[in-house]
């Protein structure tokens, strides 16, 4: 370990209260999504800090009052040394009025039993705070890293609005991307998620008094309740889900992690009608070695076979609408999978930094949740997840992050940033 790096680690240890204060400041900015459209003040604070760190700052609205912020710390020899994206989201999980927080207010942080409590502490303002603190220390120390560091504070991750995708579309790229989201200091990939709407629709409406003619012998009325027919679609999805649990697996995941959740159902007009339309909103989790396109094809093929076996559904097959760019704007989302290459040189460097700082082997596994990290994979940028906080605390009442783990994470991150940007491009 170089003297410069040793001095950085000493500063993190000696100034840990400043690090915690930074996290508390971020928590005090209420940025829940939904409702979203509320991150501008917090993002402006990040932008100001990035400018103070010597970064070139790019800020633009993804949605009104929800801007992305990107700060680029140019390296002294960018062409020849490795570059790094550090990525985190500013939005946090929603809060309901009935939740009982020990703080009284989820956006008033509290230190208790070695933790910081507040909405976003684990998911994921802890990760943002540690990364921003590390970048500030590097600049303050007068160090000029050879490779570029691109700091991305994005919006919309909690509601599928993929601020990270907008960064990729804007042309930001690097040799490696680190998503500093909740991982309990594990180096993680992830499966993917896609939502979809399945609609069963009758082209004709019927009075509820005609039901006898549809369901009893001799009625001869070729009609059906779209709600009742949707139950066959749901049964078909359950059959496919069980088939997946038997036939598919992926290292690090418990069997059956790939699920099809019937999350929301809507249908019917009122009690005087036979339901002429029913809509089912599903959430599909799939493994890192799959794509959402292939999973969509499997589901549609299976449900088309279900429809073929039913006289009415055969003539009125289900319709599909997949994905979306926002759970708020169009009630849909996509989170691509992220497969981490354990042999990638950046992963080796990160594992070494973890072991060097914490004196323990780093765990390389898969997240049970999803992050924006899959968008880097889609863009051809190698990436992994690595951040403080436990998934059990994310989204929870009295969400918390352990202060010691936050400090450890910041030490590992500054070590990784320093070592990776000092590696020559291959």
Question: Omega of the bond prior to 198 within 30 degrees of 0, cis?
Answer: no
Give yes or no for a contact between 71 and 53, defined as CB atoms under 8 angstroms apart: yes
Geometric angle at alpha carbon 158, from 284 and 24, rounded to 5°: 145
300 a catalytic residue = no
Spatial distance between the Cα atoms of 131 and 142, rounded to a whole number of angstroms: 17
Token output for 48: 């100001």
DSSP 390: -
* Residue with token string 């949740």: 369
Contact between 207 and 269 under an 8 Å Cβ cutoff? The reply is no
Rg (CA), the chain: 25
Strand pairing partners for 198? 280, 320
Of 157, 158, 393, 408, catalytic: 157
91 catalytic per annotation: yes
Could you count the other beta carbons within 10 Å of the beta carbon of residue 291?
14
360 by Cβ neighbours in 10 Å (0-12 / 13-18 / 19+) ranks as exposed
Identify the active-site residue in 58, 91, 158, 372. 91
First-last CA distance in the chain:
22
Q: Which of 86, 103, 105 is nearest to 95 (CA)?
A: 105
Catalytic residues: 91, 157
């Amino acid at each position: 370990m170089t003297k410069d790096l040793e001095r950085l680690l000493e500063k993190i240890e000696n100034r840990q209260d400043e690090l915690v204060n930074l996290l508390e400041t971020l928590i005090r900015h209420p940025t829940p999504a939904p409702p979203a459209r509320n991150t501008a003040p917090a993002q402006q604070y990040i932008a100001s800090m990035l400018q103070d760190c010597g970064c070139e700052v790019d800020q633009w609205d993804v949605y009104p009052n929800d801007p992305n912020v990107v700060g680029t710390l140019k390296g002294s020899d960018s062409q020849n040394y490795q570059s790094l994206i550090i990525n985190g989201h500013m939005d946090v999980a929603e809060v309901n009025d009935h939740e009982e927080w020990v703080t009284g207010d989820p956006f008033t942080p509290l230190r208790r039993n070695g933790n910081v409590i507040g909405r976003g502490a684990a998911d994921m303002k802890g990760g943002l705070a540690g990364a921003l603190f590390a970048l500030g220390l590097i600049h303050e120390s007068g160090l000029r890293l050879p490779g570029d560091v691109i700091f991305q504070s994005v919006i919309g991750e909690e509601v599928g609005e993929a601020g990270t995708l907008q960064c990729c579309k804007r042309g930001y790229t690097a040799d490696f991307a680190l998503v500093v989201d909740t991982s309990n200091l594990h180096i993680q990939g992830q499966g993917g998620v896609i939502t979809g709407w399945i609609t069963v629709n009758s082209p004709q409406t019927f009075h509820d008094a005609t039901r006898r003619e549809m369901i009893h012998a001799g009625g001869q009325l070729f009609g059906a309740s779209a709600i009742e027919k949707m139950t066959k679609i749901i049964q078909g999805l359950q059959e496919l889900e069980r088939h997946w649990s038997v036939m598919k697996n992926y290292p690090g995941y418990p069997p059956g992690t790939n699920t099809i959740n019937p999350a929301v159902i809507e249908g019917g007009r009122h009690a005087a009608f036979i339901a002429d339309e029913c809509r089912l909103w599903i959430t599909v989790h799939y493994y890192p070695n799959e794509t959402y396109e292939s999973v969509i094809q499997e589901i549609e093929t299976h449900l088309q076979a279900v429809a073929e076996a039913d006289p009415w559904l055969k003539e009125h097959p289900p319709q599909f609408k997949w994905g979306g760019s926002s759970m708020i704007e169009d009630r849909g989302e996509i989170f691509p999978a992220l497969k981490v290459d354990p042999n990638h040189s950046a992963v080796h460097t990160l594992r070494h930094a973890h072991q060097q700082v914490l004196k323990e082997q780093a765990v390389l596994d898969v997240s049970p949740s999803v992050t924006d990290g899959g968008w880097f994979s889609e863009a051809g940028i190698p990436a992994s997840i690595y951040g403080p906080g436990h998934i059990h605390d994310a989204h929870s009442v009295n969400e918390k992050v352990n202060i010691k783990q936050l400090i450890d994470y910041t030490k590992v991150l500054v070590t990784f940033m320093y070592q990776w940007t000092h590696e020559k491009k291959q």
